[in-house]
Structure 1
Amino acid sequence: MEILSPMTELIDGIGNALGTVLPLPVSLGTPDVVDGAVYQPEMGVLVGVTGDFRGRIIIQASQSVFSSFGMNMYGMALEGDMLESFVGEIGNMIAGSTCTVISQKGLTLDITPPTVLVGHTKLSGFAHALKIPVDIDGVGELQVLLVLEEHLSQQ
């Protein structure tokens, strides 16, 4: 499946946003198309995208990876309700920053409030998703899933 231009812009925007929001070096792996359901192993955040195309950005990782972000950003380990709130805010910051970067390229996008996902979760209701592995230096890996419901035709 070919990645269309808006999807490429979204991937570039996410890479830029991750590098801006997270206080550690990040590197994006090769995107992979996933058909059908996606299984979240431990924790994640889902943020809807509206505007020139609609979809969802889902960021998932282990609790220890999200907690390490908190340690690096705030100097303290986060757990329980504080960790869940932090995960929601991380999703909000990454998705918001992504939309800001993309808007500079002429696409109009906005985000919905984040939904935090805790525990083993099956995400379905879409035909395809694009999964992007992200390695965070010294912390571990997270995955970003992009699900587009509608997208612009190729230009």
Structure 2
Amino acid sequence: MDAKFVNPFIDAFMTVMPQIGFQDITRKKVSVKDKSAQSLGVTVLVGFTKQIRGNVAYNMSEETAKYIASTMMMGMPVDEFNDMAQSAISELSNMLTANAATNLATLGYDVDISTPSLSVGHNFVVKISSEQYLAIDMDLSGHRIEINISLQ
């Protein structure tokens, strides 16, 4: 995968997250991984089509997902990862991916994104790519979100 596809996702994260109430955002490490990712508890997969093909998987713990959902819902307590919280996380993945797609369009790529697919659980593996993919660890006020990107 071409490394030029990384910055549109980092920029999207750094643009969208402050708009929904997060201020302490840090990019940690970028690494190359092979084929599949072990779920951290909540994984949202979004596909790309047209000039760029592939997918992005947002991977986080259930605690992180509840923290994000609570912030998105103006601080409403989220004690369980119910339908409302799942909807918030799916919407966040839409916002992040649409922003990244817009960033890719400014680089001259015509792209479409799919509807997000949210999975919950610890004992599953998500196939990200048939080869290697890039993983970006982002820290959101002490909460880890792994952005797994495989685009061609």
TM-score after normalising by structure 2: 0.85
Counterpart residue number, 1:130? 134
Q: Which residue of 2 aligns with 1:143?
A: 146
Does the CA contact (< 8 Å) of 1:68 and 1:139 recur in 2? no
Gaps of 5+ in 1: none
4+ runs of 1 displaced by more than 3 Å?
none
Instruction: Indicate if the aligned counterparts of 1:47 and 1:95 stay in contact, CA closer than 8 A.
Output: yes
Residue 35 of structure 1 aligns with which residue?
Answer: 34
Deviation at 1:123, TM superposition (A): 1.5
Matches within 5 A, 1:6-155: 7-8=3-4, 10-22=5-17, 23-24=21-22, 25-73=24-72, 74-78=74-78, 79-120=81-122, 121-124=124-127, 126-136=130-140, 138-148=141-151, 151=152
2:85 partner amino acid: L
- The separation in 2 between residues aligned to 1:98 and 1:77, in whole angstroms, is 29
CA distance in 1, matches of 2:8, 2:77: 28
Name the count of aligned residue pairs.
Answer: 143
Gaps of 5+ in 2: none
Shift of 1:77: 2.8
Give the deviation of 1:142 after TM superposition: 0.7
Bigger share in strand: 2
Q: Which has the larger displacement, 18-27 or 114-123? A: 18-27
CA RMSD of aligned residues (A): 1.6
For 1:72 and 1:118, the matched residues in 2 are separated by 20
Identity %: 24
Mapped to 1, the partners of 2:40 and 2:60 lie a distance apart of 8
